[in-house]
Every structure is written in structure tokens, then in C-alpha cells.
Amino acid sequence: MADPATMPLIEVANLGVRLNTSRGPAQAVRGVSFALKRGETLGLVGESGCGKSVTALSLMGLLPDSAGVTGSIKLDGNELVGLSDAEYCRLRGNRISMIFQEPMTALNPMHTIGNQVAEPLRRHKKYSAAQARKEAIALLDRVGLPDPARRVDAYPHQFSGGQRQRITIAMALACEPDLLIADEPTTALDVTIQGQILDLIADLVEERGMSMILISHDLGVIAENVQRMMVMYGGTVVESGPTDEVFRRMGHPYTQGLFRARPKLGARKGTRLKTISGTVPELADLPSGCTFSDRCPLVIDQCRAALPPMVNVGPGHFVRCIRTDVSMAERVGALSA
């Protein structure tokens, strides 16, 4: 038995997810592998349809029944792929929790917030109603909800967006999970509130020694909040590495394109944004070979022949591109301050 301190908490190997869409079967995730130790944080970046949320849902066992999952997901060495619903229910909200993007739809409007925060405690830890309520108040206090003892019996619509997101965080944390998955936790919130919520999540991750997977389309949010990151496109990981390393020397043309296409503060009117041509492809009709080949400025025939392998370009820094010699010569990236 390996030492629990060095053994990864979660280990994903060659994960593939096949979804049945209205346009036929689609390979939503292909060959995703990563490992996360206790206390580590990982960021997933990408645009809509790149497979980042499907990856998260497969960790949570929340994919539709028709989805086909291949590969392996191990939590503390135990295989999760193929678990029955009942077995997954014992993990979900207990050892693995998730914070969703839209706090209004993640909360049930018909139940008080106190009952919703207490539900995982009652279910997994078999707390009595009174115990669970007391613990729920303590949790709501910890996530910074003002006056929790009085507001524990209020309903979700009586709170603002930022407060609702705090409540969903309290729900996710109730059973002190080992792994927290935050899927675009601040996209629906104002930029000033976004900072507070991200600060809160960072504090809690540190305080409880949790591992976190943070999903976002915002490179800035990823740059500031995770140790390692993976950039996804068309269901595959196109670049991965320590966050600082990736931002210092971006290797994949897609990562570079994302970085350049963002309007930046201080870029004056009249400057043009360097956009990525075309649009995000449908998962049902991805190009053969490299998934980015149809939009890539550096594409050559070889790119369309087969999916490129991951190339090691720096310490722990991998890029799925056969043209890194050209792409990295351009030195795209934000040098450290």
C-alpha cells in the first residue's frame, strides 16, 4: 500500500465519454488523464462544448444513463467508473462535492436554505434534525452569510446572487469533502462579488486541506486561483502544466489564441483583437486528427492525419501539438510580474 501522503487522491486515466446528442453520438471527452494529490488545485479552461463540464460530471457520476464512460477514475485507489447509483450516492456530497454555475437553479426554491445545507449532514452523517440545523448555521456563518441564525429558515429567493452562491458553497462543504469541484462558480456574479467568492473558496480549500478542480472560461480566474491547469478543446486536453509555467510560455496555438483574443485593459481603442477564426466545433463533427486543426493558423497536413501526442516542453508542461517549435518561438504569454 502506497503512502497516503504521496498517493493521489483522485487519479483519472484515459477517460472517455460518449454522449448521445440530437446529432448522433458524440465523443465529448477523449483520453483525459490527470492525478490530483490532497490539497492540490487544478484548473480546467476552455470554451463551451470543450468537455470541461462533462469531465466534471463524470467525476460526480452525474452523466445521463445513456452516456458511455471508458477509462478509469480512482478515488483513493478505488475505481469509480461502473459504480451503481446507490454506491455513488454515498460519495456524492460526502467525499466529492460540486458547486454549480447558476446558484438559483442549484438551490431548490421550495425548501429553506437551512434544510438544504443540512440535507447532506442528515443523509451522510446521520445527524439528528437539531444537530444538523446547528451545524448548518455554523456553516452558513463560515461562508459569510450575515445573521445565519435568523436567516436559516429563509428561502433562496430572499437572497442575492452572491449570497446564494455562498449557500451552495456551504452545502458543498457540509460533509468536509476531499474533493471540491467548482464549475464556473462566479460566472453568474458581478466582478466585485466574484473576487469575494474566489477568496472564500481559496480560504476553505486551504483551511480544510481539500483538493479542488476549478472550471472556468476566464484565463484570469484560472491564473490567480490554481496551481496546475489544463486547457481543453474539442474534448481533449491540448495543454497542461503548472499555471505559472503555462502562462509564461504558452505552447498550444489554441491557448495562445484564447490569450490574444481577450480584450485587455490598457489596449487602446483602434487596436485590433487577434481573433481565432471560425467557431467552436460541434462535438458530433470534430475534425479528424488534431481537434483544433480547422481553426489553427499553423496547421499542416500532418496535423489532420492523427491526434498529436502530448509533447513535453518544460517542467511538467505538456502540449498536444506537433508544431510547438513554431508556436513557442513566438513567445506568447504573460511574463511574471
Partner 1 sequence: MSTAPLLDVRDLEQRYTLPRESLFRPPGQVRALNGVSVQVQAGESLGIVGESGSGKSTFARVVMALERPTSGQVALLGRDLNRLPPDELRRARRDFQMVFQDPYGSLDPRQTIARIVAEPLTVLEGADRTTFRDRVAAVLRQVGLRDADMDKYPHEFSGGQRQRIAIARALITQPKLIVADEPVSALDVSVQGQVLNLMQDLQEQFGLSYILISHDLAVVDYLCDEVAVMYLGRIVEQARPEDLFERYAHPYTRALLDAVPRTRAGGGRRRRGAQAIASQSAAATGCPYAARCPLADQHCRDALPELRRMGEGHLAACHKAEAVMALPQTVMEG
Residues that bind partner 1 (CB under 8 A): 47-48, 144, 160-162, 190-196, 198-199, 202, 217-221, 223-225, 243-248, 257-259, 261-269, 271-277, 279-280, 333-337
Which CB atom, from 119 or from 218, has the smaller least distance to partner 1?
218
139 vs 231 by CB, closer to partner 1 = 231
β-pairing verdict for 10-21 and 68-75: antiparallel
Question: Smallest distance, Å, CB 167 to partner 1?
Answer: 16
For partner 1, give the closer residue by CB, 76 or 147.
147
CB of 202 to partner 1, least distance (A): 6
- In whole angstroms, what is the distance from residue 210 CA to residue 4 CA? 14
Cα-to-chain-centroid distance, residue 175:
20
Residues whose CB is less than 8 angstroms from the CB of residue 275 and which lie 6 or more positions away in sequence, other chains included: 257, 261
The least CB distance from residue 207 to partner 1, in Å, is 14
| Residue 147 C-beta: closest distance to partner 1, Å | 13
**Cell for 120?**
447532506
Q: 67 vs 280, which CB is nearer to partner 1? A: 280
Single-letter residue type at 106: A
CA dist., res. 68 & res. 196, Å (int): 38
φ and ψ at residue 47, rounded to 5 degrees: -95, 180
Secondary structure (3-state) at 27: strand
Report DSSP letters for 87-141, one per residue. HHHHHBTTTEEEE-S-HHHHS-TTS-HHHHHHHHHHHHS---HHHHHHHHHHHHH
Contacts of residue 72, defined as CB under 8 A and 6 or more positions apart, other chains included, come to 11, 12, 13, 14, 15, 79, 81
Measured from the CB atom, the residue of 127 and 233 that comes closer to partner 1 is 233
For the CB of residue 258, give the shortest distance to partner 1 in the complex, in Å.
6
* Minimum distance, C-beta of residue 121 to partner 1, in the bound complex (Å): 27
Which is closer to partner 1, CB of 135 or CB of 183? 183
Pick between residue 109 and residue 266 the one whose CB is nearest to partner 1.
Answer: 266
Nearest-approach distance from CB 126 to partner 1, in angstroms: 36
Cβ contact 120:89 at 8 Å: no
Distance separating the N- and C-terminal Cα atoms of the chain: 43
Taking the least distance from each CB to partner 1, the nearer of 6 and 336 is 336
Q: List, edge to edge, every strand of the sheet that includes 24-36.
A: 24-36, 10-21, 68-75, 78-79
Distance in Å, CB of 69 to partner 1, minimum: 26
The grid coordinates of residue 195 equal 473576487
